[in-house]
Amino acid sequence: MKIEQFEDKGLSHYSYAILSECENEVVLIDPSRDIAPYLAFAEQHQAKIIGVVETHPHADFVSGHLELHLSVGATIYCSQFVGAAYPHQTFDDGDTISLGNIKLKALNTPGHSPDSICIVLELDGKDKAVFTGDTMFIGDCGRPDLRENTGNLTAKREELANQMYHSLRDKLMTLADDVLVYPAHGAGTLCGKALSEANSSTIGAEKLSNWSLQKMREDEFTKMLLQDQPFVPKYFSYNVGLNKQGASGLIASLKSVPHGTSGKLNKTILVIDSRPEHTYKRSHLPGSINLQNGAKFETWLGSIVAPGEAFYLTADSDSELEELVLRCAKIGYEVFIEQTFVGNDGTEMMETLDVEDFKADSNRYVIVDIRNPSEVKTHPIFANAITIPLPELRERILEIPFNKPIVVHCAGGYRSAAGSSIIQSVYGTKTKVFDLGEAIKGFL
């Protein structure tokens, strides 16, 4: 037997291949949109992918389960409560999948979603590992507030939090202490709030260190789970629906994205400019948003741009564009790309802030803090700042006065590059807009 963990760092996502070496068969758990690594793994081991298990309809990425079914004939397994529109076999309490001397056993574990399952791997009659999806992470458990209005089966966050309490205690904590824990996400995901950097653990270790497994009343657990959850990106509900249907083939979808130049653009369509902030500030197209090609590009794209909104995508090179279009596809956004192009001949620029002048008298500026509420609460910086989280900025921009120059900041510079460009696109003719950028570190 072999368990292979695959990591998508940008989405903090883990997927798994379980190989039965005696049968040369593979079952995948929670695969990414790009199925190439799984096909390569199977080819390397001269094995056949016979099954794909979806622990729930994922909100933060698009899964490749349907393409795997269509391309290699793998059976898709999911809970009956998903109401899946793709060909599938239900996989709930008491159901098993056999691969030689390996048995995969389903556990219904509602909490993150009403249709969540975990998968226990039994080898030669002994439980060896559990694949916990978004039910339990290393050091945390899944957030319960993503399925109030989305999916075949919906539930209020309080109800799901209560269900999570029992799923953890009645299902996962009953497993032996030496059972390995393999979650679907690691630190950096928005599917939880306090994940460890570790990529695996054991039930025994989690009983000792995971806050959600400690002894407490159900009402105490529910209160702790619901407080200070991170924001919900705009694309999450779209991905749940897309995963419930099954996404189209990746390669064909990527090929359908048009490529051109910046010469004939529809000015009513948003431009996502992925170039470095210093390049963007020197010259960019009016109304463009500077969303740099960084570690969390797809998450911020899906937080700023709503599903269904068309956008242009520009980068410094064709190779960068190819990479970014693939990253868009990981959240199903490649279909919203109006056109890609390299560089631009924009006429707008953004002036550099005189930081010393700002330090001398910050009251002469309108300060906009675009960090998340929990960050502002924990580390307040400017007492007179207007606080609007970046994911809400486009919708709430009229809350910002423009009777003074505007200075935008976050905690490190990446988000403020995007936020300042959003504000400049609306207020650029009325007042000067500055990005405090990395200089914010001098105020922390």
* Helix boundaries (H) for 61-190: 65-72, 157-167
Question: For the domain bounded by 249-342, which CATH number is listed?
Answer: 3.40.250.10
Q: What architecture is the 355-442 domain classified under in CATH?
A: 3-Layer(aba) Sandwich (3.40)
- 392 φ, ψ to 5°? -105, 0
Pairing of strands 136-137, 126-133: unpaired
Q: Where in the chain is the domain with CATH 3.60.15.10?
A: 2-239
Answer yes or no: are the C-beta atoms of 19 and 2 closer than 8 Å. Answer: yes
Average pLDDT, the chain: 95
- For residue 150, what pLDDT is reported? 64
Answer yes or no: are the C-beta atoms of 346 and 285 closer than 8 Å. Answer: yes
- For residue 160, what pLDDT is reported? 95
pLDDT < 70: residue spans in the chain: 149-154, 193-194
Q: What architecture is the 2-239 domain classified under in CATH?
A: 4-Layer Sandwich (3.60)
Q: Where in the chain is the domain with CATH 3.40.250.10?
A: 249-342, 355-442
- For residue 229, what pLDDT is reported? 85
- For residue 198, what pLDDT is reported? 83
- For residue 207, what pLDDT is reported? 98
What is d(CA 435, CA 353) in angstroms, rounded to the nearest whole number? 7
> Model's pTM, two decimal places?
0.94
> In what helix (H) or strand (E) does residue 301 lie, and over which residues does it extend?
helix 297-304
Q: What is the pLDDT of residues 329-369, one digit of tens each?
A: 999 999 999 999 998 778 899 999 999 999 999 999 999 99
